[in-house]
Amino acid sequence: MSADADIPQDEIDLADSPDSPEEAEVVHFHFQASKTQTRRIDQFLTDRLPWLSRSAVQRLIEDQLVKVNAQPTKASYKIKTGDVVDMVTPPQPVNDLAPEPIPLQIIYEDEHFLALNKQANLIVHPARGRWTGTLVNGLAHYGQKWSTVNGPWRPGILHRLDRNTTGIMLVAKSDEAHWRLARQFENRTIQKTYLAVVQGVPPLLADVIDLPIGKDRYAREKQAVRKLENGGRPAVTTYQVLQRLAGGGREFSLVKLLPKTGRTHQLRVHMSAIGHPLVGDSMYGGRPLEADGFRFERQALHAYEITFVHPGNLQTVTLRAPIAEDMRELIARLGGSAV
């Protein structure tokens, strides 16, 4: 991909493309300004990278992905002659969402919405240069009637699960159903229940974790417990130990998790914060489990149950997703039984 396609050369000397497949999800720009600008840097960059909104550019600046003369900058900064601007951005999106025959385990479906059991190693929607192989590519192949509220790249998507988290998801078919379900998510009246296998046994077999969560200061892709004054946002999780497990001389627990808020990686961060990270969750301190040829190295987290008000008949509905086979085997090998 050419990173300097739409940028006048009198303002930019050089633009770099990623050097390796691992970096292909972002594009690296290296600007050298030939003249002083009268506009703020966020406006300047938005004009030159039309696939990014101004708010998106401001988020990149906040995340220190835009630097002037190798130093973080502010959105209000005005570029001066000779300034060197380095920027890391998502690539320009493709124009069409390609339908793909990705297997979908449908749990429930009517004219208003669909509920499915998401498998592991599946990203929910295109992002950061990943335009194929996502859940919405599979939805585009499965059917064409999805809500348009979140735009063409997230048809019907009401909420997300992490790439390697399995379990139940709702997908809206109409805009009306989308708004009615989204309002429940916003008002936190939807009850979600997760199952996880964690390292060790918490000293309290049931408790509430009330720890604010924000972006990790050192790793952009991670979240961390942060004080509210340092950028954390309120986050509350209730947990209950369902079974004590053991294997390889180590203790484990099968726990039920009920998030009261919906922060990114909340359950993974909270369990790690109390000293009991999820099995296989290497990002937050969990270790893979390997025994007798069996290896479990994704986070052992499954969205098991969801309770909400049906957007059509307004009746309370509870739906469950069967536990993924690899997590079921993990629990069995540790001497437990899947719910």
**Interval 11-57: pLDDT, tens:** 333 233 333 333 335 678 887 888 888 889 998 888 777 677 888 89
| pLDDT over 70 at 271, yes or no | yes
* Contact (Cβ atoms closer than 8 angstroms) between residue 134 and residue 126: yes
The pLDDT of residue 128:
60
Q: List CB contacts of 280: < 8 A, sequence separation 6 or more.
A: 286, 287, 288, 289, 296, 297, 298, 299, 300
96 is catalytic: no
Of 37-46, 69-78, 319-328, the range with the lowest mean pLDDT is 37-46
Q: CATH number of the domain at 191-333, out of 3.60.20.10, 3.30.230.10, 3.40.50.720, 3.30.2350.10?
A: 3.30.2350.10
The pLDDT of residue 9:
29
Same fold, 14-89 and 191-333: no
The active-site residue out of 42, 162, 207, 216 is: 162
The pLDDT of residue 293:
87
**Tens digits of residue pLDDT in 85-144:** 999 887 666 556 889 999 999 999 999 999 999 999 999 987 666 778 999 999 999 987
The pLDDT of residue 252:
97
The pLDDT of residue 229:
93
Q: CATH number of the domain at 14-89, out of 3.60.15.10, 3.10.290.10, 3.40.109.10, 1.10.3720.10?
A: 3.10.290.10
What tokens does 214 get? Answer: 């924000």
- Using DSSP's 3-state secondary structure scheme, residue 159 falls into coil
Of 18-32, 178-192, 280-294, the range with the lowest mean pLDDT is 18-32
Percent of all residues in the chain with a pLDDT value above 90, rounded to a whole number: 69
DSSP 200: S
Per-residue pLDDT averaged across 153-167, rounded? 93
CATH homologous superfamily of domain 106-187? Answer: Pseudouridine synthase (3.30.2350.10)
Instruction: Name the more confident of 193 and 130.
Output: 193
**Tens digits of residue pLDDT in 246-268:** 988 899 999 999 999 999 999 99
Instruction: Report domain extents, the chain.
Output: 14-89, 106-187, 191-333
Alpha-carbon distances, residue 239 vs 108, 164, 165, 194, 278 (angstroms):
27, 21, 17, 9, 13
| Distance between first and last Cα of the chain | 48
Per-residue pLDDT averaged across 220-225, rounded? 91
Q: How confident is the model at residue 316 (pLDDT cuts 50, 70, 90)?
A: very high
